Structure 1
Amino acid sequence: MGSHRRTAHSGSAGSDRSTRAIVLTVAVAGTAAALGAVPAGAAPQDRPADTKAEVDRLYEQAEKATEAFNKADERADRLREELATSQDEVARGQERINRMRQALGMVAGAQYRSGGVDPSLALMLSSDPDAYLDRASTLNRLSARQAGELSELQDAQRELAQERAEAQRKLTELDASRKAVARHKRSVEAKLAKARRLLNSLPSADRAAYDRASRGGDRPDLSGAGAASSDRAAAALAAAQSALGKPYVWGANGPSGFDCSGLMQWSYGQAGVGLPRTSQAQRYAGRQVSLSQAQPGDLVAYGSDAHHIGIYAGNGQVIHAPYPGAPVRYDPVGMMPVSSVTRV
């Protein structure tokens, strides 16, 4: 993640999931004011590289926490849908049971009324013995059929109730997981504030250089970058280019802010392709190719755990949402160790 924020950068930087997106930008003045004066010796001025490395490590932790949050959020959404489906099925089953019970009640009433007389006597008293036998046979068959259906529906209702209970258990588990991720986020924010305090203690020239690196530079030369692997890849790349300069936002997938996997999901969404929410899942959303075969529009995942991802723009450049405080921008494809290249 350290080379993720090297000083030589190229490039400038649906609906928001605003209820879930928490901005992790770290403003110099705001944080400095909140933290107060920097204690003497907090960051020796002869160690700017160590300070930058610490900040880079903290940014990597924040990004991993973001992807963990996204994964938990995606699983919770899926469980909520499964729970809603189970509840609908249980409700429909109950309605069918109620109808069957009503029908059985009518049959039972008829049988009770006719059963008050001995069947042989009822047959003798019947003005139409053949019709009586037909009715009795029909009632027996109807009773057996209704009882069988009721038993089947009751079994189905028990099964659905079990499914609903299991889905509720999973949803509770996922809610607890999301709370744990939120606690981790708060811990990372505290570390980021500490790192910013160290950065603020650096000489102004070093601090300005770091801030310039976070903003990125000019748009790279993409002439001769080659054609995209498909029309959808070209459309996704164009969408990512339209997001240049947008801020990194915790848990967001556009259009006004993004985390790394959120940018990929939104960009391919503009091309009509649905991608999974996390970078770990996105790396398997298509056919993997070697880095030497990368074409514009391919997804480039970083780190052995694929905790970061970008979209290849050609000429050795990717577009990505780098980290808190840095906008969507171009960077060299080799800014971090590449773990996979995926053609969607």
Structure 2
Amino acid sequence: MNVSTGGRQLRGRASATALACAIALIPGLSYAAPHAPGPDPGPGGTRSIEQVGAELDGLYRQAEVATEAYNTANEKATDQTKRLASLRADLTRIEGRVGDLHALAGAAARTQYRGGYLNSTGVQLLLGEHPDHALDDAAQAQQAMQNIINVSEAQKAARAELEGKTDAAAKDLKELNRTLADKAGAKEQIEKKIADAERIEAGLRKEETDKLAQLERQRTDEAKSKWPVSGPGGGTSDKGGGGTTTSVSGAAGKALAFAMDQIGKPYVWGAVGPSSFDCSGLTSTAWAAAGHPIPRTSQAQWHGLTRVSLSSAQPGDLIIYFKDATHVGMYIGGGQIVHAPRPGRTITTAPAASMPILGVVRPGV
């Protein structure tokens, strides 16, 4: 389902669309929710360039939400498939064990019926980890027979329990696959909207394109001014768009170096490299390259990694955006992130405050 979208890139854009004007978690500041697509035209039936920009923002925001929903469903289905395979392998082993015990019990019963006793070798091999001693009389054989029965009953009970778990896991996987199919269908609908957005962008006149780029630069400047964090890694960068103000070592440094090396590569839904990424594909692959695998999606990263305060954000940390945790970028210091913005864009740096922040998580701890 990875769909590459080229689209016409507007000149001068330095950050993702769907930008808000402040950080949700900072007291005293607020942000507007992403605009819905299709704003009403202005007087005379002509839409303003601001309305066009709002429509594009809304379409691309919907695309990102759909992308993360699909990725999450896919991850759950993949994990459940592995779990079901493991359960089925365990069930096969225990069924073999039950069959062996059943055969051994039958042999013991036939031998005793004929007035003899079961040779101990098979019993010891099946029931004991150290078959050092052979049974040498009928009393021991009788006890071995009882042990066979006891173990056989316990194995049958374990098999019944495992069969129940396997059936439940298969049912869950079936439901997850239905959910995945639904999410895939939703992505297809979003793809059509993205195509509409690209046609809108392609049809803009040069002066309209320039004005959109100017509006985005203004929002970028506003976002830079709203970053409140000071201290190590938090101050305003003096290196333009992508520099950091602190040196980074260890796993965080490796992850950050990897992410920065991907700048310029395109955003592609569901991609985890090496030639393209989506937002969480970039962060998860970067940290895996640093030797610390993390969850695949931004929502799983938010729920599964250690949360830290915004004021203690350090380079390499992940900043999670929007209330539904559907976007993520890696903090690089200086009030900046590196991220994969949305379809039609490439991996770039942007102000950390350019979208509403849900919180910060720190991998590797």
Query: Separation in 2 of the partners of 1:246 and 1:72?
Result: 25
Tell me, yes or no, if structure 1 residue 281 matches structure 2 residue 314. no
After TM superposition, the score normalised by the length of structure 2 is 0.73
Deviations 1:115-149 (A, max 9, x none): 8xxxxxxxxxxxxxxxxxx7442342222111111
CA drift at 1:160? 0.9
User: 1:222 deviation in Å?
Assistant: 5.2
Which residue identity does 1:246 align to in structure 2?
K
Once the two structures are TM-superposed, the CA of residue 103 in structure 1 deviates from its matched residue by 1.3
Deviation at 1:337, TM superposition (A): 1.3
1:234 to 250, 253, 256: 253
Matches within 5 A, 1:45-60: 46-60=47-61
**Counterpart AA for 1:110:** T
The answer to whether the 8 A contact 1:225-1:296 is kept is no
The 5-angstrom pairing of residues 82-161 of structure 1 reads 82-114=83-115, 135-161=137-163
Q: Distance in 1 between matches of 2:281 and 2:178?
A: 23
Q: Secondary structure at the match of 1:335?
A: coil
CA distance in 2: counterparts of 1:189 and 1:223, whole angstroms? 34
The structure with the largest alpha-carbon Rg is 1
Match of 2:196 in 1: 194
Amino acid at match of 1:294: A
- Cα drift, residue 92 of structure 1: 1.0
Q: Secondary structure at the match of 1:283?
A: helix
After superposing the two structures, state which structure 1 stretch, 249-258 or 164-173, moved more. Answer: 249-258
Q: Which amino acid aligns with 1:291?
A: L
1:191 corresponds to which letter in structure 2? K
Distance 1:224 1:211 in 2: 25
Q: State the shift of 1:24 in Å.
A: 4.3
Q: State how far apart, in whole Å, the 2-side matches of 1:66 and 1:139 are.
A: 65
Q: Could you report, residue by residue, the CA deviation over 1:125-184 in whole angstroms, capped at 9, with x for unpaired residues?
A: xxxxxxxxx744234222211111111111111111111111111111111011000110
Output one character per residue of 1:232-270: Cα deviation in whole Å (capped at 9) or x when no partner: 111111000111111111111122111111100001111
Pair 182,142 (structure 1): closer, same or farther in 2 beyond 3 Å:
same
Determine if the alignment matches structure 1 residue 339 to structure 2 residue 358: yes
- More deviation, 47-56/236-245: 47-56
When the two structures are aligned, how many residues end up with a matched partner? Answer: 290
1:328, 1:260 → 2: CA distance? 9
Instruction: Report the more deviating stretch, 82-91 or 104-113.
Output: 104-113
Partner deviation per Cα, 1:213-247 (whole Å, 9 max, x = no partner)? 79x9xx8355561233x511111110001111111
2: CA distance, partners of 1:287 / 1:99: 48
Given that 2:256 and 2:286 are in contact with CA atoms closer than 8 Å, whether structure 1 keeps it comes out as: yes
Amino acid at match of 1:95: G
Residue of structure 2 aligned with 1:252, choices 253, 271, 277: 271
Task: State the AA in 2 paired with 1:161.
Answer: E
Letter in 2 for 1:94: E
Residue ranges of structure 1 left out of the alignment (5+ in a row): 1-20, 30-40, 116-133
RMSD: 2.7
Deviation at 1:60, TM superposition (A): 1.0
Return the letter of the residue paired with 1:62.
Answer: A
What letter corresponds to residue 247 of structure 2 in structure 1? A
CA deviation after TM superposition for structure 1 residue 53, in Å? 0.9
Q: Is the 8 A contact 2:242 2:349 kept in 1?
A: no
Question: What secondary structure is seen at the aligned counterpart in 1 of 2:361?
Answer: strand
- The equivalent residue for 1:121 is none
1:205, distance to aligned residue in structure 2 (A): 3.1
CA distance in 1, matches of 2:60, 2:278: 12
Q: How does 1:17-56 map to 2 (within 5 A)?
A: 21-27=1-7, 46-56=47-57
Aligned partner of residue 322 in structure 1, secondary structure = coil
1:283 CA displacement: 2.5
Q: CA deviation at 1:91?
A: 1.0
Question: 1:206 pairs with 186, 205, 208, which one?
Answer: 208
- Mapped to 2, the partners of 1:169 and 1:311 lie a distance apart of 37
**More RCO (CA 8 Å, sep 6+):** 1
- TM-score with structure 1 setting the length: 0.77
Letter in 2 for 1:203: R
Matching of residues 240-319 of structure 1 within 5 Å: 240-319=259-338
Q: Kindly report which structure 2 residues correspond to 1:44-83, keeping only aligned pairs within 5 A, or say none.
A: 46-83=47-84
Q: Distance in 2 between matches of 1:69 and 1:261?
A: 12
Give the unaligned 5+ runs of structure 2.
10-40, 117-135, 221-238
What is the percentage of aligned positions where both structures have the same residue? 37
